[in-house]
Amino acid sequence: MNAMSFTTLERGKTTIDAAALEALSAQIRGTVLREGDAAYDDARSIWNAMVDRRPGLIVCCVGASDVVAAVNFARQNGLLVSVRGGGHNIAGSAVCDGGLMIDLSMMKSVRVDVAARRAWVGPGATLADVDWETQAFGLAVPTGINSTTGIAGLTLGGGFGWITRKFGLTIDNLVSADVVTADGKLLRASHNENPDLFWALRGGGGNFGVVTAFEFQLHQFGPQVLSGLVVHPFADAEKVLREYRKALETAPDELTCWVVMRQAPPLPFLPDEWHGKEVLVLAMCYCGDIQAGEKATQTLRAIGTPIADVVGPNPFTGWQQAFDPLLTPGARNYWKSHDFTELSDSAIEVTTAAVSQLPGPECEIFFGHVGGAAGRVRADETAFPQRSSHFVMNVHARWREPAMDKACIDWARGIYEAARPYAAGTAYVNFMPEDEIDRVEAAYGDNYRRLLEIKQRYDPQNLFRMNQNLRPKEGLRAA
């Protein structure tokens, strides 16, 4: 291995000699890749095709000792570092240009203790990996809605999906985490061990270290759930949304219903004449007895005159993958997001107007309804502070051709600005693109200063900065 030039933390350049590079390789049980190696391009490719970066080295880890070696090497040489779990993050922070990429995607183990209702999960596991193992025993941890999402990034940012209202956020079910910190130490974080770090990891993102294992509490759930879609003509969107809003006022924690507005894909249960036309979809899931779910969903399913209603019993693992075909890797993606404490008439008008101007067939807007059990946790109990019952809007611009970049990004930004007056002002860090670093303080609200203090304690040099970053020294001076 020859000497190589790397990007430093401050985006300068440094050269590392061959002997040091060989010494790193000798410490790694996994694989060390550089440009030109057969697996290099696959390792640096992630879900969002807009991200096309070339790390100087990729350390493909197979255990915590590999992570320790990679972190020590990066710190000792002042290298820019990125950390890849599932590679699904919209901002593309898994991949750095010219620095050291720590790839955890081979650390995919999921071990379930049925009696204790616990799961130990590697940071490279996807939601599909977790669901596969836990549902085999009729158990579940609340996660997201796209099975190719990585468990690590989802958890560190908060994590919500179909069963959050019943069982809480993903972080509310985190029991402990093994973490390699910037000084190369492997720590256990839990309520009893390094509790400040444990608090920060539950929503503070990848700012504090590299998690090499997660321990989750599991819940008895599944394997069958009542779930599915009710599809409405978009001409009825405003009326449907107002009735949807009212129906949710009395919805039990077991019931979750999200809204998706987009052009209809060629789904087999939709008449051909609706393919490619704008529709509003109510996507619902009931966490409980199927017959009780039939009763609980009646009000939502009675709204308007739907084109199709395909709500019924389904395997939960299948429902978790229902939206995967619309979210496959390889497309260009740009998101803008708001939290809403209520779904106001003004917010409804702004978003429905935007759906009438979709720049492409894969672009969409969704509203996720949270609250329930997740809303009964104090805002200061975890780093994630958005605990008021609320809606999360994600403007999801998705397209294939670079020539469409401006039109799609402008569309997303336009909706974001138009909806801003009606939004809560907070943000979900997992939905923030890389140009939204200015929203980090607002995302954490009153928890922000405490996060900065913990960041200063565990990562004073900001080694872990490829994320929705907390800047320790600058932030504390400004606070």
Separation between Cα atoms, residue 433 and residue 329, nearest integer Å: 16
Query: What's the pLDDT at 477?
Result: 54
Is residue 479 pLDDT above 80, yes or no?
Answer: no
Query: What's the pLDDT at 474?
Result: 62
Separation between Cα atoms, residue 166 and residue 370, nearest integer Å: 10
- Give the residue-averaged pLDDT of 11-32: 96
Q: Which single residue is written with the structure tokens 């000497």?
A: 3
Is residue 425 pLDDT above 60, yes or no?
Answer: yes
Q: Are 198 and 189 in contact (CB under 8 A)?
A: yes
DSSP-assigned states of every residue in 274-338: GTTSEEEEEEEEE-S-HHHHHHHTHHHHTSS--SEE--EEEEHHHHHTTTGGGS-TTSEEEEEEE
In terms of DSSP bridges, do strands 110-113 and 255-263 run parallel, antiparallel, or are they unpaired? unpaired
Is residue 107 pLDDT above 60, yes or no?
Answer: yes
Query: What's the pLDDT at 475?
Result: 57
- Give the residue-averaged pLDDT of 44-48: 96
Q: Which residues pair with 295 in a beta bridge?
A: none
Is residue 473 pLDDT above 90, yes or no?
Answer: no
Local confidence band at 236 (pLDDT 50, 70, 90 cut-offs): very high
Is residue 65 pLDDT above 60, yes or no?
Answer: yes
For the chain, give the percent of residues with pLDDT over 90.
Answer: 96
Query: What's the pLDDT at 322?
Result: 94
Separation between Cα atoms, residue 400 and residue 409, nearest integer Å: 13
Measured over the CA atoms of residue 76, residue 79, residue 84 and residue 90, the dihedral's sign is positive
Q: Are 242 and 259 in contact (CB under 8 A)?
A: no
Rounded to 10 deg, the angle between the 237-248 and 345-355 helix axes is 140
- Give the residue-averaged pLDDT of 57-72: 98
Local confidence band at 437 (pLDDT 50, 70, 90 cut-offs): confident
Local confidence band at 98 (pLDDT 50, 70, 90 cut-offs): very high
Q: Residue 306, preceding bond cis, omega within 30 degrees?
A: no
Q: Out of 228-237, 429-438, 447-456, which region has the weakest mean confidence (pLDDT)? A: 429-438
> Which amino acid, 45?
S
Is residue 44 pLDDT above 80, yes or no?
Answer: yes
Q: Are 336 and 395 in contact (CB under 8 A)?
A: yes
Query: What's the pLDDT at 2?
Result: 87
CA dihedral 433, 435, 441, 447 (to 10 degrees): 30
Is residue 360 pLDDT above 90, yes or no?
Answer: yes
pTM value > 0.85: yes
Separation between Cα atoms, residue 243 and residue 97, nearest integer Å: 48
- Give the residue-averaged pLDDT of 416-436: 94
Separation between Cα atoms, residue 285 and residue 303, nearest integer Å: 16
Measured over the CA atoms of residue 187, residue 189, residue 195 and residue 199, the dihedral's sign is positive
pLDDT tens digits, 132-188: 999 999 999 999 999 999 999 999 999 999 999 999 999 999 999 999 999 999 999
- Give the residue-averaged pLDDT of 182-208: 98
pLDDT tens digits, 266-283: 999 999 999 999 999 999
For the chain, give the percent of residues with pLDDT over 70.
Answer: 99
How many other β-carbons are positioned within 10 Å of the β-carbon of residue 470? Answer: 28
- Give the residue-averaged pLDDT of 409-426: 96
**What's the CATH number for 110-220?**
3.30.465.10
Separation between Cα atoms, residue 442 and residue 434, nearest integer Å: 15
Query: What's the pLDDT at 300?
Result: 98
Separation between Cα atoms, residue 168 and residue 160, nearest integer Å: 8
Structure tokens at 320: 């978790």
**What's the CATH number for 225-431?**
3.40.462.20
**What's the CATH number for 4-103?**
3.30.43.10
Query: What's the pLDDT at 108?
Result: 97
Per-domain residue ranges of the chain: 4-103, 110-220, 225-431, 441-478
Question: How many Å from the N-terminal Cα to the C-terminal Cα in the chain?
Answer: 46
Local confidence band at 476 (pLDDT 50, 70, 90 cut-offs): low
What residues have CB less than 8 Å from 235, skipping those under 6 apart?
A: none
CA dihedral 272, 273, 275, 277 (to 10 degrees): -170
